[in-house]
Structure formats: C-alpha cells, structure tokens
Structure 1
C-alpha cells in the first residue's frame, strides 16, 4: 500500500462529478476504515477504483448474521454458516495489511469449527489489534440459560497484553491468565464469573473506563471501588444471575458517569455517586409483583445526580409501594426523564411519584409500548385511575417552573394517553415544544392508520394550553 498520498492524474470532468476520484488509494484506505464493515463492503460498487479498497479496512467485522437467517431450518442455517466461514477464510488469506485496528468475529455453534475459528483469532492477534470482539452465543438461548461448551481461547490470546478494548461472549475465560493492563473497555457475556474471578479481573484492569456484564452467572456479589478502578466511567449490568439470593451490588467511587441495570430487584449500595450523568433502570425480569418500593426508592436516591433517568413499567408499578408512596425523601437532579410505559392504570402512581421527585425536570419523554403489567398489583393506597389527571390534581413543581419539552413516542390516542397529555398541557406553564410521534399500529378500535391518526390529532389539539410559547408537532 502506498503510504505517501498523491493526487493521481484523472479526467477533469470525472473529478468535477466525483471529488474522491482525485484521491490516491492510500487516502481511500483511511476513509473506508472509518466506516462500519458492512458499509465498507458496499463501497465496492461505487467504481472500479473502489472495487477492492474495502479489503484493506482496518476495522474488520466477520459476522455470521451477514449470511445466516436464524428463522430458517437447521439444515439451511448449517449450509449458510459454512458459506460464511469459507468467506471468512478467503478474507483472511487475501488480507495484506500489517495491522488491524479492530477485529470482530461472531459465530453461533462454533463446536464443529474450533480449529479454523482459533486461526481467525490468531490472525487478529498477529496484526496487533487493539480492539477484539468475539461472540459465540446462540440466538436460541433464553435469558436464564447457563450454556455449556463455550469456546476455549488460544494461548496466544492471553499474551496479547496491548489490547485496549475486549468483548467476549460465550468463551471459556482463564481468569488466572488474564493480565490486560491496558484495557479501557471490557464487555463480558454468557460467561461464568464468581466473586473471586470478578475481583481478579477488576484488579488486573487498572485503566478500565467501561465495564459491561450481560447474562453472566454465579456471582454472589459485585464490588467495584475507586481504589481498584479509579477511571471507571460506564457500568452496565444486564440480566446477570447472582448465586444464593437477591442481587447485591456495591459501588464506591466518584468517577461513574453512566449506570445501566437490567434484572431482578436487589440490594444496591452506591456511595459517592455525585458525578453520574445518566442512569437506566429495567426490572422487567421480576416474575411477580412484590412490595419492594423501599429498595427502588433507595436506589433512586443514590442516583440523585443523574441528569438523564430512564425507568421501565415494573419500576413505575413498584416504586410507590414503599414507606414513602408520594416522592423520594430528597429531590432528584433529573433534567430529562424517560418513561417506558403504556400509561396503564398500574403505572399512574409511579408516574406521579417521579414527577413529584424531579422538581428540576426540563424534558419528559413518554416512550409508549408494551409493558410488563402485574395482574396481582396492589396500589399503596386507594385511588381512582380515571381521576388521576382530572379531579385528584397535583401541581408538580417541574410543570410550573422548569418543564419545556414533552416527547411522546408511539402515540395512539388512548384515553389514558389523552388524559395524561391534557394534564401536562394545562399545567405546563413554561412548555415550549410538544413532539408527538404517531404509532404505526392500528388503533384500539381497529381503524386504519390514517383514520386513527387524524382522530388522535383532533383529540389533542382542542386541549386547554397554558403556555403561550408552545409549539405542537405531529410526526410519523
């Protein structure tokens, strides 16, 4: 590859139409390496000059989903998987560049192809890749599965100490040999991790800035401190199975900026979290309704500094069912609240709880969709859902003092949606913008999309609007 970029002589008429045609191949190699792998492949149809440029990209992603449709029969999927591996082998053989910046490989059911897959991994390591992502999970696995037969990593893997980003899914990980002192971004999925192995991993990653654990199992508790990982800014814990009881998570450090949790309600102790900017909470895994409001309220107060807060339907149903059913003991600093909800009757008190707990709220996003509704839900006190946004009015401070933007996604114009929206319009004194993204589904009466969209608009527009600055936009 020519490392000295030079403008080649080309037809000036072509150059006027296509400014890239004046660039040397060495520059095009750099440009294509900024593209996602699939987009890089598509550049091959642009012109003869671009035909083979994509083969020199520094960001390689070999994913069986490019070939395999997991809805097809087992036989067809197996044939497609073999085609994919042949493509991958040909790619590896023809690749001429000395280094690879990022290498990602994904293949389910790797058992029959262990030798060739290990050669792919060695290929990336020999080219001194800084980012490695290996995914051998099966789309058919269920949330609580603990699969066996994960792929063993070659010994060369543990000697590649220059890695800065690592993602491993469904791999057998030898924690005792894990010594990647330069890693900043670590993601592990479908891997057994006990308390001891997790501690070893964290101790050996002093530069860690982002940690993601998904579908891992056998942990008793998870402890992260700033004395071991002082640079950690992002932490994601999704659907991990804790051994012997409820989840127990302890985090002590001032550096965390982003926190995402998905799983069962557990015990959280998050000390000194004054720097968190965004938090996402999803408890959709809960099998049944339980009076765990105090645990969620305590977690919420520990995340008080989060400017952006996302909660799900289960959170809305459970959080008011604690000692304090109306609000958190101390106000939250949330400026943008995202509610993943269906505005079901079970969720109404949780919505009011959060509006009252967020006096500085500026943007409210109502992300409408299917919710995990508990049939055995018990409200913390007697109330009439139909009066929630009409007779039983609460003048939340955020509506009177700070809220400026409301976004509604998936709007259908149901009664609960309309009552809540009209309540916001009546009391939102400072509102500047209401953005309504209409649902593509048919409405509750089975009307076609255009008919129900028109009706939805007619239901909203006659509302009494308090803010003179408000602009209402309906979007598809």
Structure 2
C-alpha cells in the first residue's frame, strides 16, 4: 500500500483539472464510447467539456436514451426540446443517426431533423416511429440524402418524387411497415445500384408484383405476402429468407409453386434459404420436385406445419430440388398436441441426401408424424454426421427427448450418424 506521503506527492504532481487538459482526440474517444445520454451529461464536468458532445458524428436516441429511473420520457414536448437542442448546438458532420420515438407519441420536428441530417452528410439513418393511423410522410429533403449507405425506416410513408433518381450509394435498406406503392418500391430498389442487403417487412398485399431488381444484392429478407414479389435480377444473391404472413390470397386463385421458384434457376450464388411454408398452404397441385435443381443451395431452414399435407408436400418438393444440401433445420410452425391419427401425414420420398451432414429438428410433441420425418432423413442420408432434436415448448421436451432416444436404435444409412437431444 502506498504511504500517505507518497500519495500526497503523486496528487501534487497532477494538474489541477485533469479532465480539462485531456487531448481533444482522447475526449472524442471517451465521448464515442459513452451512450449519447451520458455523453451529453459530460457538459457539467467543466466549461471546456460543456459543448464537446456537440461534435459527435454518431447520435443514438433509442429506448435506452429515453428511459429514466422511473419511466420513459414520453412527453412530446420533452422529445421536441431534445431534438431542438441537437439542431441548435451540434457542429460538424453527422454520419450516423438513430431515432426511435416512444410508442403513442408524436415528434413534430422530424422534418427539420431530416433536413438537418441531409445537409450534414448523413450516411446511416435509423428512423423508427410509433404506429399511428397516418404514417409519417418523408419530406422532400429526405430524397436529397445522397450520402446514405444504410437506411432503416419504420412506420413511414414514401412518396417518391418524379425527379428522384435513387440512392446510388446505398448498401443496406430495411423497411418495416412502410407505406409505398409496389411501383415506387420496385423503382427505389432498382435505382440503388450498390444495394447488397435488403430487408422488407410489409403487411400490405399488393395487386401488382414488386420487382426485386438488384444485381449486387447478396441477402434478401422478406416478411409479408410472398405472392407479392417477383425476384427478377439478383445473380449474386447468397442468402434468402421468405416468411409469409396471413395476408396471402387464401381462398382465391391457387398458387403455382413451380412458377414462383422458376426464377431461382439462375441464382447460381444462392447457398442459404429460409422458408416459412405458410405461403404454400393454398398451393395448387404440388409436383414431386421442381423441374430444375438448385445445386448451389447448401443450407435449408424450413418452418412447416407437419399436420398440413399441402405444406409438407411443398417442403418435400423443395428438399428434393436441393441435391447438395449439407445442413437442414426443420421446425414446427404451429405446435400441436394429442393429434388424432386422421390428421397424420405419411412421409414418402425417393430422394437420397448424398451430401447432408447435419439435421436439426425442433419439434413439439414427439408424435408419430415427427418420428416418421426423422426416420425418413436417417434412412436417406448416407453422409449424415449429426441429428439434433430440440423442443419448441418446455412441457414437450420429455416427449421429444424420448423420441430421440428411440431413434438411436433405428437403422440409418450413415454408420457415423449421432442422434441426440439438446436443451433449449
């Protein structure tokens, strides 16, 4: 332990105000490491620190920012005042800005804020607004944000000006519950020439198809009416997620699964597909397999209702069409218990999974139908190394674990295949 005399000498050798004498670059690093709320609070340290936060290039006003010890800052006046201070005092470029407004509150200064950000070279913009009857309409200044690289919008209305030529530097685009016509959305995507990652969560069902024309796109995540999209020109696509919603055209014209997937034949880079098979529930006659094979797909994740014969048939059709699968993850979309025999589906397949090495099954009840699926994969996968079982609900874990134990004694095509249960 340091002697009192030594401590006094050490303190005397330090400057009177250490914080005020820190190099500018050190102060900037400190502020960048702090949450924005704490960075603003450094204003009380000294006169020198009072406006240091005003030159931060990255500002985040999310739930953590609005939260206090007792509650969220939800008053519109308080939110407006905070944004007003940013507009008045901030200096220099803002490269990244995140605004998540608390639920059921409005923010009347967003137009001014977007104008300010566009003028200051915004590159990454996250704008998540509360759901209202009328979504927030993006102002004309938004379409002048030509430096944007990443854009994430929620609960907004996009009316594309006729003169708008696109965000030609945009790399990632994420739209959640955004109101935009199918024509404008297709045009927006096609005019983002550098776009690599696209995420769309769209509840609305369009009468006209949304054309996804993005020659540099590498990943595409879509949640909504799958029948509303047409994958036109995406030769570099490597990862695809299609999660259907209940807004599909159930009860109307039957859906042709082969026609929908015919454009996939040209996707030579596609390696990973996730499918929520709800979109196939109202499909027309399902072929045994697609008229072509997708040899590039190595991983397939499927969420399927095992007690819906059409969904199961569509899933098997697709699985047969991916001859080079190495990893498969199958989960039950709608867990059921105590299902009667009349609802069971027979799994029959003439396909051999010559490259399949690992399978994960997330099941609900350990029922006969689930055992049939597991037996099918074990009997037709000569290169299988591991089959993992998990339970999608806690109370069924014992039954699924018992199913895994029973299958350890079942004959399998691969002598190396291990069957095991994993705890979630």
Do they superpose with TM above 0.5?
A: yes
Paired with 1:151 and 1:328, the residues of 2 have a C-alpha distance of: 53
Give the drift of 1:59: 6.3
Which residue of structure 2 lines up, in the alignment, with residue 281 of structure 1? 242
SS for the counterpart of 2:414 is coil
Alignment map for 1:286-305 (pairs within 5 Å): 286=247, 289-290=250-251, 294=255, 297-304=258-265, 305=267
Cα separation, partners in 2 of 1:102 and 1:329, compared to 1, 3 Å:
farther
Alignment of 1:45-60 (within 5 A): 56-58=31-33, 60=35
Q: Which of residues 113, 125, 131 in structure 2 aligns to 1:166?
A: 125
Per the alignment, residue 357 of structure 1 pairs with 321
In the alignment, the residues of structure 2 paired with residue 335 and residue 209 of structure 1 have an alpha-carbon distance, to the nearest angstrom, of: 25
- Cα distance in 2, alignment partners of residues 148 and 97 from structure 1: 26
CA distance in 1, matches of 2:359, 2:88: 50
Please report how far the alpha carbon of residue 119 of structure 1 lies from its aligned counterpart in structure 2 after TM superposition.
3.1
**Counterparts of 1:93 and 1:154 in 2: how far apart (Å)?**
28
Among candidates 402, 426, 432, match of residue 385 of structure 2: 432
- The answer to whether structure 1 residue 367 and structure 2 residue 331 are counterparts is yes
User: Cα deviations across residues 113-160 of structure 1 (Å, max 9, x unaligned)?
Assistant: 24323136437953533111112262x7xxxxxx98765232552443
Counterparts of 1:49-448 in structure 2 under 5 Å? 56-58=31-33, 60=35, 90=41, 96-97=52-53, 99-106=55-62, 109=74, 111-119=76-84, 121-122=86-87, 126=91, 128-136=93-101, 138=103, 152-154=110-112, 157-170=116-129, 172-176=137-141, 178-194=143-159, 196-197=160-161, 203-221=165-183, 222-224=185-187, 228-241=191-204, 245-246=206-207, 248-286=209-247, 289-290=250-251, 294=255, 297-304=258-265, 305=267, 306-318=270-282, 321-322=283-284, 324-332=286-294, 333-346=296-309, 347-370=311-334, 386=344, 388-389=346-347, 393-397=348-352, 399=353, 401-409=354-362, 412-443=365-396
Unaligned runs of 5+ in 1: 1-9, 11-24, 34-52, 63-86, 141-146, 373-383, 444-448
Instruction: Kindly state the Cα deviation for residue 415 of structure 1 after the two structures are TM-superposed.
Output: 2.5
Which structure is larger by alpha-carbon Rg, 1 or 2? 2
* SS of corresponding position for 1:301: helix
Q: Tell me how far apart the structure 2 counterparts of residues 291 and 325 of structure 1 sit (CA, whole Å).
A: 20
Q: 1:217 to 1:264 in 2, by over 3 A?
A: same
* 1:327 to partner: Cα distance: 2.9
Distance 1:407 1:191 in 2: 38
Q: For residues 316 and 353 of structure 1, what CA distance do their matches in structure 2 show?
A: 11
CA separation in 2, counterparts of 1:124 and 1:233?
35
Query: How far does the alpha carbon of each residue in 1:228-283 deviate from its partner, in whole angstroms, 9 at most, with x for none?
Result: 322111111112536xx525211323211111111124343332322100111111
Alpha-carbon distance in 2 for matches of 1:125, 1:206: 27
Distance 2:335 2:365 in 1: 15
Using a 3 Å threshold, how does the CA distance of structure 1 residues 189 and 227 change in structure 2: closer, same or farther?
A: closer
Per-residue deviation, 1:167: 1.2
Q: Tell me the CA shift for residue 308 of structure 1.
A: 0.8
- The residue matched to 1:178 in structure 2 has which SS? helix
Report the equivalent of 1:464. Answer: 411
- Any conservation in 2 of the 1:418–1:459 contact (CA below 8 Å)? no
The 1:313/1:358 distance shift into structure 2, 3 A limit, reads same
3-state SS of paired residue (1:442): helix
- Equivalence for 1:49: none
Q: How far apart are the structure 1 equivalents of 2:239 and 2:327?
A: 14
Distance in 1 of aligned mates of 2:406 and 2:272: 30
1:294 to partner: Cα distance: 3.8
In the alignment, is the contact (CA less than 8 A) between 1:336 and 1:361 conserved in 2? yes
Counterpart CA distance in 1 for 2:198 and 2:156 is 17
Q: 1:409 to 1:149 in 2, by over 3 A?
A: same
CA distance in 2, matches of 1:113, 1:387: 58
* Structure 1 residue matching 2:199: 3-state secondary structure: strand
Q: Is contact 1:247–1:265 with CA below 8 Å preserved after alignment?
A: no
**Superposed CA offset, 1:319-344 (max 9, x none):** xx236533333222321110123423
